[in-house]
Amino acid sequence: MQLARSPLAPVGLPEVPPVAGVRGVALAAELRYRDRDDLLLLHFPQGAAVAGVLTRSKTPGAPVEWCKAQLPGGRASALLVNAGNANAFTGRRGRVSVERAATAVATALDCSVEEVFLASTGVIGEPLPDDRMTAAVGSAAGQLEEVDWAKAAAAITTTDTFPKAAYRRCELDGRSVTLCGIAKGSGMIAPDMATMLAFVTTDAGLPAAVLQPLLARAVDRSFNCITVDGDTSTSDTVLLFATAAAGHCDAGGPDDPRLDGFAAALEALLIDLAQLVVRDGEGAQKFVTVTLRGAADDDAARRIGLAIANSPLVKTAIAGEDANWGRIVMAVGKSGEAADRDRLAIAVGGVTIARDGERVADYDEAPVAAHMKGREIEIEVDIGLGQGSATVWTCDLTHGYIDINADYRS
Q: What is the pLDDT of residues 103-161, one digit of tens each?
A: 999 999 999 999 999 999 988 888 888 899 999 999 999 999 999 999 999 999 988 99
The whole-angstrom separation of Cα 377 and Cα 395 is 9
When pLDDT is cut at 50, 70 and 90, the band that residue 190 belongs to is low
Q: What residues are annotated to the active site?
A: 195
User: pLDDT confidence of 400, banded at 50, 70, 90?
Assistant: confident
**Across the chain, what does the average pLDDT equal?**
92
Distance CA(354)–CA(12), nearest Å, equals 39
Spatial separation of the C-alpha atoms in residues 117 and 19, rounded to whole Å:
18
The dihedrals phi and psi of 49, each to the nearest 5 degrees, come to -75, 145
Q: Decide yes or no: CATH 3.60.70.12 for domain 23-279.
A: yes
Confidence of residue 195 (pLDDT cuts 50, 70, 90): low
Please report, in angstroms and rounded to a whole number, the separation of the first and last CA atoms in the chain. 8
| Cα 99 to Cα 78: distance, rounded to the nearest angstrom | 14
Lowest mean pLDDT among 48-62, 126-140, 225-239, 384-398: 225-239
**Tens digits of residue pLDDT in 76-110:** 999 999 998 989 888 899 999 999 999 999 999 99
Measured CA to CA, the distance from residue 177 to residue 154 in angstroms comes to 25
Radius of gyration of the chain (CA): 22
- Per domain, the residue ranges of the chain are 23-279, 287-406
pTM for this entry: 0.93
Q: What's the pLDDT tens digit per position in 32-49?
A: 888 899 999 999 999 999
**How big is the chain, counted in residues?**
410
Instruction: Confirm or reject CATH 3.10.20.340 for domain 287-406, answering yes or no.
Output: yes
